[in-house]
Amino acid sequence: MGSGQQPQNGKGWFRALSFKVSNCAGSYWAFLVAVALVLVWLVTGPLFGFSDSWQLAINTGTTIVTFLMVFLIQATQNRDGKAVQLKLDELIRAQTKARNVFAALEDAGEDEIKRFEEEFRELRQKGFAGEHAVREAARRTQDD
């Protein structure tokens, strides 16, 4: 979404809401409000005789907030993760010495990832470092 553009689908409102809520929930002020609510709840304990209803109020409130926040924060995390992956992909593709196979590694199967892990472990054990390791890995890719 560029500046002033409306989302093209019905999910845009959820993306905007999840972004705003996660930003607010992670703020200093949200933490202070949460602490204040817990303090108010604690102070009212004697007024309600520390009853089951008094305990149920805080348990229900925190459960509902937690349940909803899980989905909103996960949506924001998913979006942020995709954005980071795209940025890393662009950096990999912009480097002439980098292997482009790594640009979409998040979509690779477990076997492929394990093969790369073993390759890098072997390079480290042989003492390849920095530029030399990059050249050796590139040479291996060309030999395949």
Q: Is the dihedral of CA 12, 17, 19, 20 positive or negative?
A: positive
Q: Is the pTM of this model over 0.85?
A: no
Q: What is the pLDDT along the chain (144 residues), one digit of tens a residue?
A: 444 444 456 678 888 888 888 889 989 999 999 999 999 999 999 999 999 999 999 999 999 999 999 998 898 888 899 899 889 888 888 887 777 777 778 888 888 888 888 888 887 788 777 667 767 777 776 665
d(CA 70, CA 25): 11
Write down the domain spans for the chain. 9-94, 97-144
How far apart (Å, rounded) are the C-alpha atoms in residues 38 and 31?
11
8 Å CB contact between 141 and 115:
no
Whether 74 and 84 have beta carbons less than 8 Å apart is answered as no
